[in-house]
Amino acid sequence: MKVQMFFRDHNPPHFHVHFAKRNCICLLDGTLHEGELPTKKLAEVQEWAALYPAALAEDWDLCAEGKTPNPIPGLD
Task: Identify the pLDDT of residue 76.
Answer: 77
Whole-angstrom distance, CA of residue 68 vs CA of residue 75: 22
User: pTM of the prediction?
Assistant: 0.93
Q: Indicate if the pLDDT at residue 44 is higher than 80.
A: yes
Provide the 10 A C-beta neighbour count for residue 56.
Answer: 24
Q: Indicate if the pLDDT at residue 45 is higher than 80.
A: yes
Task: Identify the pLDDT of residue 4.
Answer: 96
Q: What's the average model confidence in pLDDT over 29-44?
A: 96
Q: What is the pLDDT of residues 5-29, one digit of tens each?
A: 999 999 999 999 999 999 999 999 9
